A = this chain, B = another copy of it.
Amino acid sequence: MRTLLLLTAAALLIGAAPAKKLPTPNDIVASAPASAWKAIPPDDLMVIDLRSGGRVVVQLAPDFAPVHVANIKALARGRHWDGATVYRVQDNYVAQWGLNDSGKPWPKDVVAKPPAEYTRPLNGLRITPLGSPDPYAPGAGFADGWPVAYSTKAGWANLAHCYASVGVGRDLSPDTGTGGELYAVIGHGPRQLDRNIALVGRVVDGIDRFSTLPRGTEALGFYKDKAQYVPIASIRIASDMQAGERPSYEYMDTASASFARYLELRANRHDDFYIRPAGGVDLCNVQVPVRKRP
């Protein structure tokens, strides 16, 4: 009984002790060669320190939303976010932060009306196809570490809204937001937002600092009282931090053989726990491996 229930709990997840021939997805991650990993440039890491002490690290995606990402760097470097808070947390949807209606002028390098970087040309991306149907686009897969949807025929690609994706709050179209107000997905991937809003990256560490925040009780998850706002101590770009205190991460190259195998095993789970491999997987359930560098 003792053992049984421990296993009951333990077996519920991926990493449960496998005494098996076929590797698990985690085995692939653990054994992937150094060549299967790509370092995230420190200039593409945004480090958000909460006043409570928690840290959230975001990988920015300049190849998908260059103007918005440049804005975000200018906002961080211009200390625009001094006094920023998390002011909206909606269950199974998003946590949102920034200055929320402060009226503060933008730092000078900020483009006030960025273009609608909701898609980019498919051309130039090396796509590893998902291999399963996607309800939101003709194609889905991975490009340079990112989950993407695309149309070969129309020639566009977009970052997909998955758990921990980071996007730009905006007003009604044609406004696209500057990047001053950002959100992170803390629930089931709201793919309906794909191609309707600019995604600029993903949380690679500390998403639980957002996902565990109390939900706001006002419409759309806004906090009712400003006293509930969660203060942010600083938002920095890692390349601006002292070399010794910079966090550093790497992601699995989605064009690598390791990733191809990982993807195959995520779609066909053979861990001891599973009795019926699905034979398919949805884009947001693949979860491109990202880890801290030593």
Tell me the A residues contacting B by CB distance below 8 Å. 1-2, 4-13, 15-16, 87-88, 90-94, 96, 99-103, 118, 132-137, 162-164, 169-173, 175, 177, 180-181, 183, 186-192, 194-197, 207-208, 211-215, 219-222, 266-267, 269, 272-276, 278, 280-282, 284-285
Contacts of A92 in B (CB 8 A): 163-164, 207, 211
Assess A196 versus B8: contact at CB under 8 Å? Given A187-B163, A188-B188.
no
**Minimal Cβ-Cβ distance residue in B for A7:** B171
B9, A196: Cβ atoms under 8 Å?
no
Contacts of A135 in B (CB 8 A): 132-134, 267, 278, 280-282
Contacts of A90 in B (CB 8 A): 13
Contacts of A9 in B (CB 8 A): 87-88, 96, 100-101, 169, 181, 220, 222
Q: A5-B99, A5-B101, A187-B211 are in contact. List 7 more A-B contacts (CB 8 A).
A: A5-B180, A13-B90, A135-B281, A135-B282, A172-B273, A195-B276, A282-B282
Min distance, Cβ A155 to any Cβ of chain B, angstroms: 15
Min distance, Cβ A282 to any Cβ of chain B, angstroms: 5
The one of B103, B221, B272, B282 in contact with A2, judged by C-beta atoms closer than 8 angstroms, is B103
Min distance, Cβ A212 to any Cβ of chain B, angstroms: 5
Bound CA span A177–B9, Å: 10
Assess A172 versus B7: contact at CB under 8 Å? Given A13-B220, A191-B285, A196-B274.
yes
A13, B274: Cβ atoms under 8 Å?
no
A101, B6: Cβ atoms under 8 Å?
yes
A285, B190: Cβ atoms under 8 Å?
yes
Min distance, Cβ A134 to any Cβ of chain B, angstroms: 7
Bound CA span A268–B207, Å: 29
Contacts of A102 in B (CB 8 A): 5
Q: Most B CB atoms within 10 A — which of A186, A188, A214, A276?
A: A188
Assess A171 versus B100: contact at CB under 8 Å? Given A135-B282, A187-B187, A192-B278.
no
